[in-house]
Amino acid sequence: MTNPGVAVITALETYDIRFPTSREMDGSDAMNADPDYSAAYVVLRTDDASGLCGYGFVFTIGRGNDVQALACAALRHLVVGRHVAEVVADLGAFARSLTNDSQLRWLGPEKGVMHMAIGAVVNAAWDMAARHRGKPVWRLIADMSPEQIVDLIDFRYITDALTPAEALAILRAAAPGKAERIAALNSLGYPAYTTSPGWLGYSDEKLARLARRAVKDGFRTIKLEVGLNIEDDLRRCRIAREAIGPTVALAVDANQRWNVEASIDWLKQFAPYNVAWAEEPTSPDDVLGHAVIRRGVAPMRISTGEHTQNRVIFKQLFQAQAVDLIQIDAARVGGVNENLAILLMAAKFNVPVFPHAGGVGLCELVQHLAMADFVAISGSMEDARRRRIFCANAARIRRTLPLSERCRLDSNPSLMPTRLGWSPARDCKARELTILLAK
Ligand SMILES: [Mg+2]
């Protein structure tokens, strides 16, 4: 029986896991030509009699995954030896203790490899807390009171955009309909979109075939990677539009390919294809550049977020009216806590959220944040239809995921995650997780 009152965290284990996805160009785009989807995987072990553990990871695309795993291991002194009860009772304090380490903070602050490592460990602690409470992570968040959720958030640097009182008001306004929304999720699921047809390295024939299959599978939005060659992009948009018909949405993603002026010139040429949104046209750090692009291509919608490093940059994107929608990523910022801050700011600024995923395990993680957002923050079915979860279900990647409950977003609506903690968690043995690239 679980007895976290006396249990302590005994180990923070890390694993460098890599998959040779570049062999079939799965995941290829204008800036990442040959990604090998990888995870720096974290396991928090405890001496609890039930075998309670917590699992988290950072997604990378190959080289440097060892560096990322070392960054996760650098947090051991802040984690090992802590009482489980203390951690799961105050996940806000736990997250702040990691981001505020006086020496590690120099490696950010709150951005890059060290911040992503903190996100993995914070997410592992959330997994441990959810398992302890016998719930999936989305339900753990959804069942919290507005006051408990506000206590999770580090408001440092964002109170000029969102105060704790404003966050509390948003959460309280969403509280009355929680039970109905949970019931709606359980019966209807949550809509997803897919990029599976649109990787840049795929042939025209494969693009058309997979686009038709996506529509047949029920997806109402697909996304194409663009940005290497405008003639190729326009031809691929035409092929995709012919395959999916006029009513299925078509988004494009440049993965930071262009300068500001080139973004405007290039994106204007997509107008005949009724693009649902244009994602990451330029540097993820260029807040004012995104604002210029947005004004330059309106009414085409501009988005970014999967590489947005923290809540401060998201805050500026909202304040500068630089984006029409955002992508959050479960393994880019400092874990659940920082993503809740971003979701609350998005709610205040009325910016829709289309979560980013696609890499190993990311779909499985981010679905919990999207569902918690719908139940406890954004709070309306209209938003649920507008807010979609990114699903990359290239068969090769999915076959090799080290997951206990693979993301079931093959169709729309998706099915609800029911396992405890994050869906991707499983008890990992070093031998089975150390899958080396055989190139
Ligand atoms: Mg993207």
CATH number of the domain encompassing residue 81: 3.30.390.10
Mean pLDDT of 415-421: 64
- How many Å lie between the centroid of ligand 1 and the Cα of residue 186? 28
Residue bearing the bigger pLDDT, 433 or 3: 3
Number of domains in the chain: 2
Q: Are 11 and 80 in contact (CB under 8 A)?
A: yes
Residues 122, 254, single domain; the answer is no
- How many Å lie between the centroid of ligand 1 and the Cα of residue 409? 18
CA dihedral 437, 195, 399, 202 (to 10 degrees): -60
CA atoms of 44 and 48, how far apart (whole Å)? 12
Residues 128, 187, single domain; the answer is no
Residues 207, 329, single domain; the answer is yes
Query: Does some domain include residue 40?
Result: yes
Residues 204, 73, single domain; the answer is no
The model's confidence at residue 417, banded by pLDDT at 50, 70 and 90, is low
- How many Å lie between the centroid of ligand 1 and the Cα of residue 171? 29
Query: Does some domain include residue 297?
Result: yes
- How many Å lie between the centroid of ligand 1 and the Cα of residue 309? 14
Query: Does some domain include residue 186?
Result: yes
Mean pLDDT of 85-94: 98
CA atoms of 339 and 350, how far apart (whole Å)? 16
Of the listed ranges 5-19, 343-357, 404-418, the one predicted with least confidence: 404-418
Residues 220, 346, single domain; the answer is yes
Mean pLDDT of 134-146: 94
CA atoms of 169 and 163, how far apart (whole Å)? 10
Work out the angle between the directed axes of helices 91-99 and 336-348 (0-180°, nearest 10).
Answer: 100
Task: Examine the pLDDT at 402 and tell me if it is beyond 50.
Answer: no
Residues 126, 235, single domain; the answer is no
- How many Å lie between the centroid of ligand 1 and the Cα of residue 290? 15
- How many Å lie between the centroid of ligand 1 and the Cα of residue 76? 32
Residues 122, 189, single domain; the answer is no
pLDDT in the model for residue 19 = 85
Structural domain ending residue among the three candidates 84, 102, 135 = 135
Give 93's contacts (C-beta < 8 A, 6+ positions apart): none
Q: Are 156 and 381 in contact (CB under 8 A)?
A: no
Of the listed ranges 81-90, 102-111, 127-136, 386-395, the one predicted with least confidence: 386-395
pLDDT in the model for residue 20 = 84
Task: Examine the pLDDT at 40 and tell me if it is beyond 90.
Answer: yes
pLDDT in the model for residue 437 = 30
Residues 39, 186, single domain; the answer is no
- How many Å lie between the centroid of ligand 1 and the Cα of residue 196? 12
Pairing of strands 38-46, 9-18: antiparallel
**Domain that includes residue 265, residue range:** 178-400
Work out the angle between the directed axes of helices 362-372 and 336-348 (0-180°, nearest 10).
Answer: 50
Write the pLDDT tens digit of every residue in 103-118.
999 999 999 999 999 9
Query: Does some domain include residue 416?
Result: no
Task: Examine the pLDDT at 359 and tell me if it is beyond 80.
Answer: no
35: left (phi over 0), alpha (psi -120 to 50) or beta: beta
pTM of the model: 0.90
pLDDT in the model for residue 114 = 98
pLDDT in the model for residue 380 = 60
- How many Å lie between the centroid of ligand 1 and the Cα of residue 199? 11
- How many Å lie between the centroid of ligand 1 and the Cα of residue 169? 32
Task: Examine the pLDDT at 381 and tell me if it is beyond 60.
Answer: no
pLDDT in the model for residue 24 = 75
- How many Å lie between the centroid of ligand 1 and the Cα of residue 239? 20
- How many Å lie between the centroid of ligand 1 and the Cα of residue 85? 38
Write the pLDDT tens digit of every residue in 221-273.
899 999 999 999 999 999 999 999 999 999 999 999 999 999 999 999 999 99
Structural domain ending residue among the three candidates 135, 163, 187 = 135
Structural domain ending residue among the three candidates 73, 106, 135 = 135
pLDDT in the model for residue 297 = 98
- How many Å lie between the centroid of ligand 1 and the Cα of residue 57? 19
CA atoms of 117 and 331, how far apart (whole Å)? 9
pLDDT in the model for residue 405 = 34
- Chain-centroid distance, C-alpha 434: 24
Query: Does some domain include residue 431?
Result: no
Residues 264, 371, single domain; the answer is yes
Mean pLDDT of 183-187: 80
Query: Does some domain include residue 410?
Result: no
Query: Does some domain include residue 142?
Result: no
Assign residue 186 the CATH number of its domain: 3.20.20.120
Q: What residues flank ion ligand 1 with Cβ within 5 A?
A: 253, 279, 306
- Mean pLDDT of all residues in the chain? 86
Query: Does some domain include residue 359?
Result: yes
- How many Å lie between the centroid of ligand 1 and the Cα of residue 138? 23
pLDDT in the model for residue 390 = 57
* CA-to-CA separations, 148 to 153, 157, 333, in angstroms, rounded: 9, 20, 21
- How many Å lie between the centroid of ligand 1 and the Cα of residue 119? 19
DSSP state, residue 415: P
Residues 192, 124, single domain; the answer is no
Of the listed ranges 3-7, 163-167, 193-197, the one predicted with least confidence: 3-7
Residues 83, 199, single domain; the answer is no
- How many Å lie between the centroid of ligand 1 and the Cα of residue 253? 6
pLDDT in the model for residue 418 = 64
- How many Å lie between the centroid of ligand 1 and the Cα of residue 198? 11
- How many Å lie between the centroid of ligand 1 and the Cα of residue 29? 9
- How many Å lie between the centroid of ligand 1 and the Cα of residue 116? 17
- How many Å lie between the centroid of ligand 1 and the Cα of residue 205? 23
- How many Å lie between the centroid of ligand 1 and the Cα of residue 255? 6
Residues 124, 200, single domain; the answer is no
- Chain-centroid distance, C-alpha 251: 18
pLDDT in the model for residue 209 = 96
- How many Å lie between the centroid of ligand 1 and the Cα of residue 347? 21
Task: Examine the pLDDT at 422 and tell me if it is beyond 90.
Answer: no
